[in-house]
Amino acid sequence: APPQHGLATSEAVPMRTHVLRLLPGDDLAVSLRSFAAERGILAAVVLSCVGSTGPRTTLRPAGAGEARLLDGDYEIVSLTGTLSATGHHLHMSISDRECRTYGGHVLEGCRVRTTAEVVLGVLEGVAFNRPVD
């Protein structure tokens, strides 16, 4: 069958995993990007994350040109995305004490409140190349 328009595939074997525990005050995006850069990781995916953000969380909602700064304490409901030598692409959903949920692209300035336990899968034999969005 002919390839589908816009579909790019790569096969990675095997996948190594790393477990990170980020501490209060750590910048979520900077910490993950630094971890990947320091280890020369060319392609990684976020497999799991549990933790919290605050006192300020910085996200860019879908279609928004500017960051949204959320003050307060939030539980991380979901963190998903990719890391590479050329940058990161992370999306996160968070929930406040009233169970209101917010989400968007994770930007610098998103601080860990108590902890963020992140599991990364490093893909061997693959290199992500992603322009800044």
Encode pLDDT of 58-114 as tens digits: 999 888 888 999 999 999 999 999 998 888 899 999 999 999 999 999 999 999 999
Assigned token pair, 83: 């890391």
Helix or strand holding residue 33 (H, E):
helix 28-38
Residue 133 lies in a domain: no
**CA nearest neighbour of 22 among 45, 43, 51, 48:** 51
pTM for the structure as a whole: 0.85
**CA nearest neighbour of 59 among 33, 95, 85:** 95
Residue 7 lies in a domain: no
Number of domains, the chain = 1
Residue 2 lies in a domain: no
Residue 49 lies in a domain: yes
Strands in 55-111 per DSSP E: 56-60, 68-71, 74-84, 87-95, 101-106
**CA nearest neighbour of 88 among 55, 110, 71:** 110
Residue 79 lies in a domain: yes
Which structural domain, as residue segments, surrounds residue 36?
16-123
Mean pLDDT, residues 125-133 taken together:
73
Chain-centre distance of CA 12, in angstroms? 20
Residue 98 lies in a domain: yes
Q: How far are the Cα atoms of 14, 66, 70, 105, 118 from residue 60, in angstroms, in the given order? A: 33, 6, 11, 5, 21
Residue 130, pLDDT > 80, answer no
For residue range 3-45, what is the model confidence (pLDDT) as tens digits? 555 556 667 678 899 999 999 999 999 999 999 999 999 999 9
Residue 32 lies in a domain: yes
CATH number at residue 61: 3.30.1330.80
